[in-house]
Homo-oligomer: A and B are copies of this chain.
Amino acid sequence: MGVSELEIRVRYAETDQMGVAHHASYLVWFEAARTELIRECGRSYADIEAGGWLLVVVEAHCRYRQPARYDEVLVIRTRVREVRAATLTFAYEVLRKGDGEVLADGHTVHAAVDRGGRARRIPEEISGLLVPAVPEA
């Protein structure tokens, strides 16, 4: 519960002239993985937005340990790290599927914004879904 794994394959367009995946791609993968985690918690993020709530990113952080390469299959392991009154934090690890090596890790912090664009306390309908998960040892 509160942990999810998404497999993605590195796209050619995601590489840069260093011959590895560009560092901004990781934030896009984090987002795709977060979408899956939320879905597995019982409700799609698309549905949350349709219901009038946006989870805006207020902070993003990533450490890059080893490069990811074109056509490699990666696993984006995601968990809810913290649910506070005003913010939610997700934590991520990017692993190479072939050998399980951790290529990167990071986190994003989110605030809830209502239809009128105002920051609000995280509503119960969201915080009730997203139970923080302890990382595996």
Contact = CB atoms under 8 A, between A and B. Distances in A.
Contact of A12 (B31, B60, B64, B71): B31
Given A58-B64, A62-B60, A9 B27 contact: no
Contacts of A32: 9, 11-12
Nearest to A15: B17
A67 B111 CA distance: 13
A28 B16 contact: no
B27 A23 contact: yes
The size bracket of the interface on A is 35 or more
A54 to B, nearest CB: 6
Contact of A18 (B11, B44, B56): B56
A60 B23 contact: yes
A65 to B, nearest CB: 8
Interface of A: 9, 11-13, 15-20, 22-25, 27-28, 31-32, 35, 44-46, 49, 54, 56-65, 67, 70-71
Please provide the 5 A-B residue pairs with the shortest distance between their CB atoms, ordered closest to farther.
A24-B27, A15-B17, A23-B57, A46-B71, A13-B28
14 contacts: A9-B35, A11-B32, A12-B17, A12-B32, A13-B16, A17-B19, A17-B49, A24-B25, A35-B71, A45-B71, A58-B64, A59-B61, A60-B60, A61-B61
